[in-house]
Amino acid sequence: MYHDKLPFIAGVEGAGLVTEVGSNVSTVKVGDAVMYQTLGAYAEYVQVPVSAAIKIPELSKNALPVAVGGVSASICLEHLGEMKSNETVLVTAAAGGTGQFVVQLAKMAGNHVIGTTSSDEKVEALKTLGCDRVINYNKENVSDVLKKEYPSGVDIVFESIGGEMFRAAVENIAVHGRIIKIGFISRVLETKDKENAPKPAPLLSWEANEKILMKSASIRGFFMYHFEEHIREHTERLLKLINEGKLKPGVDPTEYKGFQSIPDAIDRMFARENVGKLVVELE
């Protein structure tokens, strides 16, 4: 998505200790723990613009999921979803690093939350986060469940899968509903596991257009760097909630250490086995 030429250094988020600062930098000093968003994060040393570095109390795995997943969830729900209370919120890939934040923030705001996921293990994990209804899409048809149990539709959809999941969102959106589109992992899975990947669906057929029109609903795309002015505010807000014990950071318990473990972590993610954010520690 970001590069079309090789070689390049992958990764967009990380945390570490400051080893050097520029002559005009006064907000951080050598030895400070910071989290950051910048391309090229899969490295032992990263040159980070001071505007992208946010100080954290200590170097901890618990801060890392906030950098992209937590901030994306928070900005999307506030600025795109215009989330209120007493609404019905559908979260696809709810057990992932971003989805877990969406579930918790929506519940904290007083909403009914539906989560979709791929295994019974993840179903139980989402229940512990307060998810009101969890749908294992390998056992239940998401659209059928929504039609039966939520005949009035869902007010907000946080959609990151695409394909049939996106179709289910459009078919079951409520009047004045908002579909927040943050990704399309099904497109990636199609190239890696054609047999088990979510099936593709037409982007916006005339039926989909009609559904959106007749419900006065909307589809709203999210790209983090169009909301840069809000990143620091939402980051600090989420870190405060985590430090107060009101928000779980959602780190997958599997340990990965060293550069050699990065491919294993990525494979686990594409196999949809992770529950929360996968973190690799570089020694």
The CATH number of the domain holding residue 60 is 3.90.180.10
CATH of the domain at 216: 3.40.50.720
Q: Is the peptide bond before 49 cis (omega within 30 degrees of 0)?
A: no
Mean of pLDDT values over 90-95: 97
**pLDDT on residue 174:** 98
CB contact at 8 A, 95 and 115: yes
pLDDT over 90 (residue 163): no
Q: Say whether both 191 and 78 belong to one domain.
A: yes
What is the Cα gyration radius of the chain?
A: 19
Pairing type for strands 133-136 and 112-117 reads: parallel
Mean of pLDDT values over 131-150: 98
CB contact at 8 A, 109 and 89: no
pLDDT over 90 (residue 187): no
**pLDDT on residue 203:** 54
- Which tokens belong to 41? 């994060």
Which of 202, 222, 242 represents a domain boundary (last residue)? 222
Which of 206, 222, 238 represents a domain boundary (last residue)? 222
CB contact at 8 A, 17 and 53: no
Q: What secondary structure letter does DSSP report for 29?
A: -
pLDDT over 60 (residue 188): no
Answer yes or no: is 25 within a domain: yes
- Which tokens belong to 207? 């039926």
**pLDDT on residue 201:** 53
**pLDDT on residue 51:** 87
pLDDT over 70 (residue 245): yes
At 189-234, the pLDDT tens digits run 455 555 655 555 555 566 778 889 999 999 999 999 899 999 999 9
SS3 27: coil
**pLDDT on residue 208:** 77
**pLDDT on residue 72:** 96
Answer yes or no: is 4 within a domain: no
**237: containing domain:** 13-68+230-281
Which residues are bridge partners to 251 per DSSP?
A: 277
**Cα–chain-centroid distance for residue 52?**
19
Number of domains the chain contains: 2
Residue 157's pLDDT band (boundaries 50, 70, 90)? Answer: very high
Average pLDDT, the chain: 90
Q: Say whether both 214 and 274 belong to one domain.
A: no
pLDDT over 80 (residue 170): yes
**pLDDT on residue 197:** 54
Sign of CA pseudo-dihedral 111, 238, 123, 266: positive
**pLDDT on residue 160:** 94
Answer yes or no: is 87 within a domain: yes
**pLDDT on residue 1:** 55
**pLDDT on residue 193:** 55
Answer yes or no: is 48 within a domain: yes
At 72-88, the pLDDT tens digits run 999 999 999 999 999 99
pLDDT over 80 (residue 9): yes
Q: Residue 74: which of 165, 182, 212 has the closest Cα?
A: 182
Question: What amino acid is encoded at 17 in this protein?
Answer: L
- Other residues' Cβ atoms within 10 Å of the Cβ of residue 111: 21
Mean of pLDDT values over 141-162: 97
- Other residues' Cβ atoms within 10 Å of the Cβ of residue 104: 23
Distance CA 126, CA 247 (A): 13
Give the chain's end-to-end CA distance (angstroms, integer).
28
**pLDDT on residue 37:** 85
Q: What share of the chain is helix, strand, coil (3-state, %, to 5)?
A: 35, 20, 45
∠223-40-160 over CA atoms, to 5°? Answer: 30
Residue 7's pLDDT band (boundaries 50, 70, 90)? Answer: confident
Residue reference for tokens 């998810």? 131
Mean of pLDDT values over 158-181: 95
Name the more confident of 208 and 117: 117
SS3 113: strand
